Amino acid sequence: MGESKFKAGTGRYAYEVLKALSEIDKRNTYFIFLPSCQESEFFFDSPRFIQLRVPAVENVIVRRVAEQMLLPFYILALKLTKGLNVVHSTNNIAPIVLLGLNTITIHDMARWKTKTNKWYKNYFLKVLLLISAKVSKKIMTVSEASCKDIITITKVSRKKIAVSLNSVNRSLFRPISDEEASKTLTANKMDITRPFIVALSSIEHRKNYCRLVRAMKRSDVSLDLYICGKKSDGYGDLIAAIKEEAIYDRIKIVHFPADDLYIALLKKAEFYVFVSIFEGAGLTPLEAMACRKAVLASDIPAVREYCGDAAFYVDPLSVESISSGIRKLSCETGLRLELEERGFRRSQKFDWKIHAEALLHLWSEEHV
């Protein structure tokens, strides 16, 4: 079984859950619907995991409309011919007319919690998510914080929701040697000569990169910042903040790096930084911990659930708090080493099989 080509977010979630299910569930057959416009595949050497391509285009709005209009026909055919009895959507939104087959993973309620300059996120996707929550028989979510938000916003019953934390792929996210990291950086033509810290996420408003850039300037420490992630609706503001603070030479943007390159950057970094304003989970800090890297993180409920006492917390709404945290972790080697050990031990407690077992239980409840 190879690694997933889905590099982050809900794509990685779907892959890891299916991989765990392939190891613990020897009874059920799984039909995996994949959009025809994407080359990514799930690699499972099992006849019980069947991949089906659904017509789709890259445009998010058109793809979501097609999902609502076409996918139910595929599902109805499988129900009639194969006895399909559960349809689980892994990415917040489900086909809303599915003859009572729906269950869903809702990762967070970010559409309600943070700003975006894209109308389809502000309105279209919010409406679809709200209806999906209402019509789905069961909801899985990935933190108690996210559960509270779902109940508050959608008004669904708490009895309808199960909570199980995400995990980390420890065969991928693991400590590596300096030699291995250097070899990977060289292969990617990255000649790094100055100390740096690293962050990973899509470059959107809620990831709080503008405050992080300002905190870097005010911290007065000799560190660069490597931002790993794809462009999103916060990219323009990030570039404006870099220009405003005039620290062009200290901020490096690596667009959506391959896993091995990202892990090599983590190895060479002083520490990992994650100052998001809102999250439904705390998976990327946990992955950094699994690589034995100290973490500076937002003091928000979902991240606390994942990182416990193994991170150094800052107020994500305060540039001074972030700046002070950067200075502290930069200057205090002993604190970094302590957090590295504490975080690594914590990361070993998480297991995707636990989440997969929670999904199996969810699907079996009340004969869903």
Element (H, E) at 177: none
All structural domains of the chain with their residue ranges: 9-167+351-367, 178-347
Q: Which residues contact 199 (CB under 8 A, 6 or more apart)?
A: 207, 209, 212, 225, 226, 227, 228, 229, 272, 273, 274, 275
Convert the pLDDT of each residue in 133-147 to its tens digit: 999 999 999 999 999
How many CA atoms does the CB half-sphere of 66 hold within 13 Å? 16
CA torsion through residues 91, 155, 205, 252, sign: negative
How far is 205 from 198, CA to CA, in rounded Å?
18
CATH 3.40.50.2000 at 9-167+351-367, yes or no: yes
**58 CB-contact burial (10 Å; exposed 0-12 / middle 13-18 / buried 19+):** exposed
How far is 163 from 182, CA to CA, in rounded Å?
40
Whose tokens are 């916003």? That residue is 153
How far is 29 from 5, CA to CA, in rounded Å?
22
CATH topology of domain 178-347: Rossmann fold (3.40.50)
Retrieve residue 276's tokens.
């998001």
Torsion of CA 275, 276, 278, 284, to 10 degrees: -100
Whose tokens are 């239980």? That residue is 361
Per-residue pLDDT of the chain (368 residues; tens, 9 = 90+): 233 344 557 888 998 999 999 999 999 999 998 887 766 666 667 888 998 888 877 777 888 888 888 888 999 899 999 989 899 999 899 888 876 778 999 999 998 888 777 777 778 888 889 999 999 999 999 999 999 999 999 999 999 999 999 999 999 999 999 999 999 999 999 999 999 999 999 999 999 999 999 999 999 899 999 999 988 889 999 999 999 999 989 999 998 899 999 999 999 999 999 999 999 999 999 999 999 999 999 999 999 999 999 999 999 999 999 999 999 999 999 999 999 999 999 999 999 999 999 999 999 975 44
Hey, do 9-167+351-367 and 178-347 end up sharing a CATH topology, with the first three levels equal? yes
How far is 217 from 244, CA to CA, in rounded Å?
10
